[in-house]
A and B are shown apart, each in its own frame.
Chain A
Amino acid sequence: NAGVTQTPKFQVLKTGQSMTLQCAQDMNHNSMYWYRQDPGMGLRLIYYSASEGTTDKGEVPNGYNVSRLNKREFSLRLESAAPSQTSVYFCASSDRRVLAFFGQGTRLTVV
């Protein structure tokens, strides 16, 4: 099925460990996004990429890096995980500011 695929679905990390969240879309969208969702905080934009080869900071970029590997893939990396990064992470894609499609989410716990 067409859509946005995120991996992994669940992850537990120890403080200081690193990991990369993968995201791929097969809708030929130009824009891709990474959000985190915490209780009472809504969806906060971490980074976005308006096109292949470009990335820009969102509202809460500290502690994260991203790579727009190609048009399909947009990864989010945590170099040194902290408990404050415990959250649910969503990847999304869209084209020309039309509706965004979201992945299923990654539930990350940092202990």
Chain B
Amino acid sequence: GQQVMQIPQYQHVQEGEDFTTYCNSSTTLSNIQWYKQRPGGHPVFLIQLVKSGEVKKQKRLTFQFGEAKKNSSLHITATQTTDVGTYFCADPSQGGSEKLVFGKGTKLTVNP
């Protein structure tokens, strides 16, 4: 079964509020990827984290990889309506294989 758990499943915010989604694994991850899927679209790669404790920023998005490499988070500061969509974390090397397994995603809606 799926080993990458993502919470929350849904999040509704007012425009300007912050948003965070969390990804947790029962096993140590070699790295983790984040994707965004706009409504009606396909997933698009955002970033990959590799190092323990790594923090990367893309404008208003901040990505973190836990020290134990078992969890990760995506934080959006001051959400905008363009942030609407579903955010997925993915384990690109589950069990050492070439499997690319996704969490169930967090669906973000933003009220203008």
**Which B residue's beta carbon lies closest to that of A88?**
B42
Once A and B bind, how many residue pairs between them come within 8 Å at the CB atom? 68
Q: Check B48 against A33 for contact (C-beta < 8 Å).
A: no
Interface membership of chain B positions 74-102, coded 1 if the CB is closer than 8 angstroms to chain A and 0 otherwise: 00000000000000101011000111111
Chain B interface residue count, CB cutoff 8 Å, equals 26
Q: Check A99 against B48 for contact (C-beta < 8 Å).
A: yes
Q: How far is the CA of A30 from the CA of B100 in the complex (A)?
A: 13
The verdict on A48 contacting B2 (CB below 8 Å), with A103-B42, A105-B42 known, is: no
Chain B residues packing against A (C-beta within 8 Å): 1-2, 6, 9, 30-31, 33, 35, 42-45, 48, 88, 90, 92-93, 97-105
Which among A43, A94, A101, A103 is the interface contact of B88 at CB below 8 angstroms?
A43
Chain A residues packing against B (C-beta within 8 Å): 30-31, 33, 35, 40-45, 48, 50, 56, 58-59, 90, 92, 94, 97-105
